[in-house]
Structure 1
Amino acid sequence: MKILGYLARDVLLHTTAVSFTLLVIIFSGRFVKYLAEAAVGNLAADILLPVMFFRLPGFLELILPLGLFIGILMAYGRLYVESEMVVLAACGVSPSRLALYTLVPAALVMALVALLSLWVTPLGATQSRALLDDPGAAQSLQTLTEGRFQRRKDSGLVSYAQTISPDTGVMRSVFLAQQEGGKGRNRSWWSPLRKRAR
């Protein structure tokens, strides 16, 4: 049982380290993508972190099996490098027995991935999609930036506000233009407009 605990702890430690490293890389890449969308006004900045945290279980669902595989390789590699495998073989521990011991941390990771994929990830995906599809968060006047033209990807709407009052949310010299589909005609207008409050 000491060998089981020793091997399981080593495998899980390496799995955790590798999974955390991969998670940081993937999380950072996806965050940069959402940050770029927020910079051009396609996404409200205040929903970035909630969306990322709702997507976190989906990332873990993909990362943990790979982390387990690399963790097993690192754990067994260390056993061979430090000649511990030779000592275990001399004590009568067969490779098949070590494989059975390795199934214990693998079963724990399998249960965690099953929980994530069957329950947590769908809930997170639903919540993140609700945030991204919310007109009040993603495609509303809340995302307007003062003194900058912004174009909505889905509707082709171009908007501009010369000034936005930080206290009252009143926008001055607002320009909106939208091309009608397939006809080559543009609709545009200027108007003073009050920024919709949250």
Structure 2
Amino acid sequence: MLFRKALRRDLLNLAGIVFSTLFVIMVTTSLIRLLGRAAGGRVDTASVLPLIAFNAINVLPVLLVLTLYIAVLSALTRAYRDSEMVVWFASGQSLLSWIRPVLGFAAPFVVLVALVAFFVAPWANRQSSEYQQRFAQREDVSQVSAGQFRESVSANRVFFVESLDETENQVRNVFVTQRQGDSLVVVVSRGGQIERQENGDRFLVLEDGRRYDGGPGRLDFRLMEFERYGIRLESRATVLSDERSKIKSTLELFADPNPRNLAELLWRIGQPVSAVLVALLAIPLSAMNPRIGRSVNLFAALLLYVLYNNLMSVSQAWVAQERIGFGIGVWGVHAALAALIALLFWRRVRLPRGSLFARFALARPRSTG
């Protein structure tokens, strides 16, 4: 009982540290990526923080599984390094006795991973997709960032606006180029505003500006000054469908079992299963050789996890491509890892339980008196 309480305390402390580190790394990476997309005009700047939150929810199952794996591995490795395992084995206990407390600690992780993978992550992906679709449906000028050139929906018009007001309806110092067949139209204006007509069309009404008409090979341009000049704003389709499997609920995946939906279902099922398996895998992998240090042991364990996670992704891709069946894909990689775990446990426990203690005792110098 004393060992189990100490183990639970160590696991909780290590899990908190590991998860905080991984979460900060993930948020920082997402922030850099989304800020780059926002600077390029592909994402609305006001949506950066919500998109980071939705992305954090989406990757939360992987973070929790990796946190569980590293926490169990580090705690048991420390027990070997501090010779606590020697006392454990000398008291007549086996390595198999660690399975129950480790699985007890892993149970909340497994439940949380399952809830997020099956219910919360699809909702977060759907919300993220809606944010991006709403930005893509905005009119030409609504997508303009102050001080940057932006291309229109039909790719025949380029806008440049020096500044926008808070409502994004008033613009100042506007530069517009538009190609009409072989001619080129350039419009410059001190300012303008967006107006809606009765039929629903939206116009950018420029004030106090000039229009230059010309074209390639023409030496002269026609100049026209205006007090008010209207430019019809193009709109994207009002509905942008997103058929990705990631945004569908688990019930929708079961209701429409096409290859892509089955592949996504495979990935969601694999998350809680992987949490159980990696917790068990960390027990035999934690046995360290004091002569080579713990860094080699930790590196090998992480390499094995990366291989396992990549094989899950490969199985998902093969199911989506109909190269293997869903039944084989959903359990094939997990069954292989379970067999490896059984083999590692067998190698650790096939020797007498006190052999490790005896090995340490024989290594101690004997008195000659």
TM range (shorter): 0.7 to 0.9
Give TM-score scaled by structure 1 length. Answer: 0.79
Instruction: Pick which of 94-103 and 84-93 moved more.
Output: 84-93
1:147 matched residue in structure 2: 147
1:69 matched residue in structure 2: 69
Distance 2:101 2:12 in 1: 12
2:288 matched residue in structure 1: none
1:167, distance to aligned residue in structure 2 (A): 7.5
2:105 matched residue in structure 1: 105
1:128 matched residue in structure 2: 128
Conserved? CA contact 1:15–1:67, under 8 Å: yes
2:193 matched residue in structure 1: 194
* SS of residue in 2 equivalent to 1:21: helix
1:111, distance to aligned residue in structure 2 (A): 0.9
1:51 matched residue in structure 2: 51
Distance 1:185 1:12 in 2: 70
* SS of residue in 2 equivalent to 1:134: helix
- CA distance 1:27–1:33, shift in 2 (3 Å): same
Distance 1:163 1:103 in 2: 59
Conserved? CA contact 2:172–2:192, under 8 Å: yes
1:16 matched residue in structure 2: 16
- CA distance 1:118–1:166, shift in 2 (3 Å): closer
1:138, distance to aligned residue in structure 2 (A): 7.0
Distance 1:12 1:187 in 2: 67
- CA distance 1:171–1:6, shift in 2 (3 Å): same
> Which blocks of at least 5 consecutive residues in structure 2 are unaligned?
196-369
Conserved? CA contact 1:43–1:143, under 8 Å: no
1:5 matched residue in structure 2: 5
1:71, distance to aligned residue in structure 2 (A): 1.1
2:218 matched residue in structure 1: none
Relative contact order higher in (CA < 8 Å, ≥ 6 apart)? 1
Distance 2:51 2:79 in 1: 41
Distance 2:102 2:166 in 1: 59
- CA distance 1:168–1:74, shift in 2 (3 Å): closer
Conserved? CA contact 2:43–2:135, under 8 Å: no
* SS of residue in 1 equivalent to 2:92: coil
Q: 2:12 corresponds to which letter in structure 1?
A: L
Q: 2:127 corresponds to which letter in structure 1?
A: Q
Conserved? CA contact 2:150–2:159, under 8 Å: yes
1:140, distance to aligned residue in structure 2 (A): 5.7
1:116 matched residue in structure 2: 116
1:96, distance to aligned residue in structure 2 (A): 0.5
> Which blocks of at least 5 consecutive residues in structure 1 are unaligned?
none
Distance 2:75 2:139 in 1: 49
Conserved? CA contact 2:144–2:161, under 8 Å: yes
Work out the percentage of aligned pairs sharing the same amino acid: 29
Distance 2:5 2:90 in 1: 19
Conserved? CA contact 1:161–1:173, under 8 Å: yes
Larger Rg: 2
Conserved? CA contact 2:26–2:56, under 8 Å: no
Q: 1:65 corresponds to which letter in structure 2?
A: V
Distance 1:185 1:109 in 2: 64
Distance 1:118 1:187 in 2: 54
Give TM-score scaled by structure 2 length. Answer: 0.45
**1:78-113 residue CA offsets vs partner (Å, 9 max, x unmatched):** 111111111222233321111221111222211110
Conserved? CA contact 1:12–1:68, under 8 Å: no
1:28 aligns with 2:28: yes
Distance 1:139 1:2 in 2: 66
